[in-house]
Amino acid sequence: MLRLEDLVQIGEAAKIKGVSIETLRRWEKAGKLKPVDRTEGNHRRYRVADLLKIDKPNLRFTVTYSRVSTPQRKDNLTTQTAVLRAYCENQRWDNIYSLCDIGSGLNYKKKGLLKLIDMLQRNEVERLVITDKERLLRFGSELIFALCEGNNTEIMILNKAMDVEPEQEISEDILTIITVFSARLYGRQSRRNLKAMQALHEAQEKILDEILTQETQQS
């Protein structure tokens, strides 16, 4: 069964639309319906949701968003997405569109998050479903909620941590902040900045030791 976020080849796209492949090519030239991607062999890929939108320009989606901080937690990401989709299907909501990211909660440029913002700006989101607000961003989720409010987008927060270790993820976010500030201070070789860098690196080492201790205790 195809999902709204799935990508399909031009032949499958033509079947979904009930038109010929040549018609899709004409639509592309006219700017009516463009593929979202092309393979290395230059084969078109269409998103199922876009194929449906052309007939229903006012179609709005139930969007689920899930995130984990590192690739090592990819299994948790799969679980998050499955739980969110199951919840939406249990509520009998149609047009479910799943977005997900692997990256820090401090990163505002994640692909899935940017897609969500784009869909909100286009008023394509009927409701947003997440496990908890920090899945969106560590700081700044209120900005996303403000976009939702401005577009009459319902927000559903399940408040389930999905086996994520919050202390460990916060520690990783702190390390990200330390790395950024260290890089900025590195170019300023004053005595004061060198002392600040040393303090940051000492704090970083302490946090790393705490993370390793936690992982050892859990294993």
Mean model confidence pLDDT for the chain: 80
Q: What is the DSSP letter of 132?
A: S
Domain count, the chain: 3
Q: What angle do CA 58, 60, 66 make, to 5 degrees?
A: 155
Kind of pairing, strands 7-8 and 44-47?
antiparallel
Q: Is residue 62 packed enough to be buried (19+ CB in 10 Å), middle (13-18) or exposed (0-12)?
A: buried
Active site residues: 69
Average pLDDT for 15-30: 90
Q: Which of 152, 144, 92, 143 is nearest to 125 (CA)?
A: 152
Do residue 17 and residue 80 come from a single domain? no
What is the value of pTM for the model shown? Answer: 0.62
Residues in the chain: 219
Among 157, 180, 207, identify where a domain stops: 157
Range in 2-11, 51-60, 137-146 the model is least confident about: 51-60
Do residue 151 and residue 72 come from a single domain? yes
Q: How far apart are CA 9 and CA 11, in angstroms?
A: 6
Task: Say if CB 193 and CB 219 are below 8 A apart.
Answer: no
State residue 73's pLDDT score: 84
Phi (first) and psi of residue 165, to 5 degrees: -85, 100
Average pLDDT for 79-84: 91
Residue range of the domain that includes 117: 61-157
Do residue 15 and residue 67 come from a single domain? no
More confident residue, 54 or 113: 113
Percent of the chain at pLDDT > 70 equals 72
Do residue 49 and residue 66 come from a single domain? no
Q: How far apart are CA 171 and CA 80, in angstroms?
A: 21
Range in 47-51, 101-105, 144-148, 207-211 the model is least confident about: 207-211
Q: How far apart are CA 4 and CA 94, in angstroms?
A: 10
Do residue 88 and residue 132 come from a single domain? yes
CATH of the domain at 18: 1.10.1660.10
Give a yes or no: residue 120 inside a domain. Answer: yes
Q: What angle do CA 106, 179, 80 make, to 5 degrees?
A: 30
Bridge partners of 191, per DSSP, are none
Do residue 176 and residue 134 come from a single domain? no
Do residue 208 and residue 145 come from a single domain? no
Do residue 170 and residue 138 come from a single domain? no
Q: Which of 48, 59, 33 is nearest to 125 (CA)?
A: 59
State residue 171's pLDDT score: 60
- Rg over alpha carbons for the chain, rounded to the nearest Å, is 22
* 207 has pLDDT over 80: no
Do residue 73 and residue 136 come from a single domain? yes
Do residue 147 and residue 83 come from a single domain? yes
Provide, for the chain, the percentages of residues in helix, strand and coil under a 3-state DSSP scheme, each rounded to the nearest 5.
Answer: 55, 15, 30
